[in-house]
Structure 1
Amino acid sequence: MAAEIKTLAPQAVWSFFYDLTQIPRPTGHTKASEEYVLALAKRLGLEALHDAVGNVLVRKPASPGLEGRPTVTLQAHLDMVPQKNSHIEHDFTKDPIDAYIDGEWVTARDTTLGADNGIGAAYAMAVLADPTLKHGPIEALFTIDEEVGMVGANGLQPGFSKGDILINLDSEDEGLLFAGCAGGVDVNVRLEYKDQEPLPEGDIAVRIALTGLRGGHSGMDIILGRANANKLLARFLKEAIAGYGARLSSFEGGTARNAIPREAYAVVTIPEADADGLWELASDYLDIFQTEYKGIEESISLRLERVELPKTVVPEEIQDGVIGALDACINGVQSMLTEFPGIVESSTNMARVTIGGGLFTATFLVRSSSESRKDYVASQIESAMNLAGAEVEFAGGYNGWAPNASSAILQTLRRAYEEVMGVSPEVTVVHAGLECGIIQGVMPDMDMISIGPDIRSPHSPDEKVHIASVARTWEVLKKGLELI
């Protein structure tokens, strides 16, 4: 039974986490989880603040005799990425997550689990609820809507938090101390056209479905070289148009700006005489994709089926320009950090594409530890899309978090890891948009670090969190609070 999750150790952490899985909390719908935290604070008799944006801050007094220590702010976000497999019905605004134990992991059936960042929030709540821990003054800061635009962090006002030290609980690799992160910016593309183009006479309609990709977190998983469904489908469509006279009617791919697209769909029309050739082309491209992504993507599917004729197709000049731009746009890793070998410096994710009904839209999420690289990668996308006649807007930009080699909390957490685990942790930076960079802009004197247990495939229905690593990271966190 799913409720068995509550019996895992440490019981308090898993109990709070399971409660969060039962509270629908996709980005933009965190009110119930905010109320849950406020109710917990009231039950524990702790001071709680709720700002205008929706962030919740709970204060816990220091253990007796430790009142003079620095104030530690434990920080996590309440929202989760809503991703599901296409064959199931699930309303993330209403339905709980069907979480369960699968061997050494906790995962969910056909949806994201929400361990990103539910486990971090559960750690913070467990600290608040445990009267036996030894620590100085504690704050727990629960931000909202991190996954789309970092709304909560961007809405923080000076003075809301009184912390001297921030421990961000949104990392996903046990044994690593994260001392920096990438910044990011959304590249939003839009092109309107007249939806009046009649179908070529004698054409039939074909629906193309490119599915079965692994997807994943567009920052953490981008280095794994996973396929992007939007890119693969655009590549196939370019040849279908050039070689078989296909005319595009619609395109729909990707669901979230920070998830690598797992599925993309298109409807085209084609002369009936060329239908067999299109099916052969699809078979050829499936072989190509399977060969190119061997060992990375094991379940790629490219299926064609005949469907009812649409009312219109995209004007040919728009079709050719847009598909060409999608094919030309850079995607994936663009540069690597030299000071942290094996860590991505800059990347881009072609997250969402829609065409049809007189409108083409696309959303890219560009990430980089370098502001100049971030600007350049975004500019390259802008150039390709401008050549297709589309308008481009940059939005939701946020700064990275620069590493601080002399950080006191870095040294403290390193010692905590050594005492608990018997080994030294690796210090690195993460190619993802932790809220630390934004919070640092509000509280520039705050010393920061980020830790977390092993979470795999976040932002996808394959998301899972390692049970034993949750327990070990809990021990490290407790020891760190004791040592500060």
Structure 2
Amino acid sequence: MKTEIAVLQPEAVWRHFSVICNIPRPSGHLDKIIRHIVDFGHSLGLETICDEVGNVLIRKPATPGMENRKPVVIQGHMDMVPQKNADTVHDFEIDPIEAYIDGDWVTAKGTTLGSDNGIGISSILAILESKTLKHGPLEALFTYDEETGMYGALGLKPDLLQAEILLNTDSEQEGELYMSCAGGIDLAASFQYKDEYYTPNEEIALKITVSGLKGGHSGVDIHLGRANANKLLFRFLKFAVSEYEARLAWVNGGNLRNAIPREAEAIITIPVEYKTDFLEEVADFEALYVHEYGLIENDLKLTAEEVGLPRTLIPEPIQDDLINAVVGCRNGVARMIPGVPGIVETSSNLAIVRSSEGLVEVHILIRSSSESMKQALTSSLESIFLLAGAKVKTSGDYPGWEPNLNSPVLKVAKETHLKVLEAEPEVKIMHAGLECGIIGATYPNLDMISFGPTIRFPHSPDEKVEIASVERFWRFLTNLIENIPVR
């Protein structure tokens, strides 16, 4: 695996990415990648700082004759989203990513690839070691835990960076330059209860599973109308409770706040006399879901499997309140940006629903490029769960990135893109959250843009990066650095 992708061009970028694939770096477990980057900076004799949050900053002096250029910070995040297929055995804290070439793409065996943002940080490492690239004063910023809450960017101190321009490498479509992004906020609702012990009376237990969905990035892919496993599961559970006296014992759907849930499952009990009819209903609902989503989801499955009877059930009032709240919870695109065709303004992702002893937790990520609409949708979702009797709290509120149509670096980037790649770039607004908004709040005078290679299906095991786009991304990035204007 290592040799195969390491021979791709540009060699320096793929060599570093090959090494990174062998370093476990799921969000929250970044000690090894931090150590690798710090050791790399020291090996080059460059000033290397690891701050108290876990961000790493490496400074590279200007090449001779370029000292008067505006100082630049190139930025990417170190963590990756740990998603795998249900039949894949993989421990993201220990096992390497098995990356391989699949035609025109690089992908991974049954897991997320980590090209988000691994290609970006590999490019930054390649720039730091380059002896031929001409550049002004450079800083390389590797941020901590972007995927779970942008904690590195949020913890960035206002006296760390010296740069005037920030180049973010976390976009996922080549040929696009981003000048703005959405902000976000996390909403958590919890139902607390005492487990209800019961004596089975001619009942059976069934595990109901929704699987085979595409999932994806809850910002980048939210407009595609992909099915949310939690919504499909609870839609069926409401029917099962109403028509078949089902009782809910356990539920687990989704596992990441910023990934559209691909799988969800629940254990229920029903009277044994209903078994045959109930299984027919499962098949009918699967056919209904395939009819509704067949043009989007090509492997959707709804299944029921008989399992051992549970010791406890979720109390019926809590069960009913939970099901009604999840069914009523708004999910997906809430509003497009008025006057800007095709760009999502506000959305929500019903990311996680899971039960444990005496507790059910629901996690939703709300995004918007409008602060007022973000708060309005948050209030609406909060109201649904409060009416259902849940405790609700919000956290991780981060700002969006306001567009600057007069950005000097945007002007240079457009000119460089046209000259180097012979194509006009599209200047766009991203619905997904980027660290630019948070960093810009701490460093309000930074001139910022974001760009990257073409990555498909980020945050899912189908993630892949287009090989040819990495080469073009590299040429554009290095030429842009060489053409940064003077102070």
Q: Shared fold (TM-score greater than 0.5)?
A: yes
Per the alignment, residue 83 of structure 1 pairs with: 83
The equivalences for 1:235-314 within 5 A come to 235-314=235-314
Deviations 1:240-263 (A, max 9, x none): 100111111111000111111000
2:436 is aligned with what amino acid? C
The equivalences for 1:34-53 within 5 A come to 34-53=34-53
How far off its partner does 1:355 sit? 2.6
Deviations 1:187-221 (A, max 9, x none): 01111011024255221111111110010101101
Per the alignment, residue 333 of structure 1 pairs with: 333
Per the alignment, residue 101 of structure 2 pairs with: 101
| C-alpha distance 475-395 of structure 1, shift in aligned 2 (>3 A) | same
Q: Does the 8 A contact of 2:69 with 2:137 survive in 1?
A: yes
Q: Does the 8 A contact of 2:2 with 2:19 survive in 1?
A: no
Deviations 1:433-469 (A, max 9, x none): 1000000011000000001000000000000000000
Q: Does the 8 A contact of 1:249 with 1:312 survive in 2?
A: yes
How far off its partner does 1:357 sit? 2.5
Deviations 1:272-328 (A, max 9, x none): 111112111111111111011121101011111111110111111111111010000
The equivalences for 1:62-461 within 5 A come to 62-199=62-199, 201-461=201-461
How far off its partner does 1:356 sit? 4.5
The more displaced of 320-329 and 42-51 is: 42-51
Counterpart CA distance in 1 for 2:400 and 2:200 is 50
How far off its partner does 1:411 sit? 0.5
Give the match's secondary structure for 1:459.
coil
Counterpart CA distance in 1 for 2:340 and 2:176 is 13
Counterpart CA distance in 2 for 1:254 and 1:56 is 31
Runs of 4 or more, structure 1, over 4 Å off, are none
> Structure 1 regions of 5+ residues with no counterpart?
none
2:119 is aligned with what amino acid? I
Give the match's secondary structure for 2:313.
coil
Give the match's secondary structure for 1:147.
helix
Give the match's secondary structure for 2:141.
strand
Give the match's secondary structure for 2:147.
coil
> Structure 2 regions of 5+ residues with no counterpart?
none
Counterpart CA distance in 2 for 1:156 and 1:307 is 49
Deviations 1:321-363 (A, max 9, x none): 1101000000001111134321111110010001342211110
Q: Does the 8 A contact of 1:257 with 1:365 survive in 2?
A: yes
Give the match's secondary structure for 2:280.
helix
1:136 is aligned with what amino acid? G
How far off its partner does 1:232 sit? 0.2
How far off its partner does 1:31 sit? 1.2
1:468 is aligned with what amino acid? A
Counterpart CA distance in 1 for 2:329 and 2:131 is 54
Deviations 1:151-198 (A, max 9, x none): 100110011110100000000000000000000000011110110242
| RMSD (Å) for aligned C-alpha atoms | 0.9
Counterpart CA distance in 1 for 2:339 and 2:404 is 13
2:213 is aligned with what amino acid? L
Q: Does the 8 A contact of 1:367 with 1:374 survive in 2?
A: yes
Give the match's secondary structure for 2:389.
coil
Q: Does the 8 A contact of 1:208 with 1:267 survive in 2?
A: yes
Give the match's secondary structure for 1:25.
coil
Q: Does the 8 A contact of 1:314 with 1:356 survive in 2?
A: no
Report the identity percentage: 52
Q: Does the 8 A contact of 1:55 with 1:143 survive in 2?
A: yes
Give the match's secondary structure for 1:355.
strand
The more displaced of 172-181 and 349-358 is: 349-358
Counterpart CA distance in 2 for 1:124 and 1:356 is 42
The more displaced of 417-426 and 349-358 is: 349-358
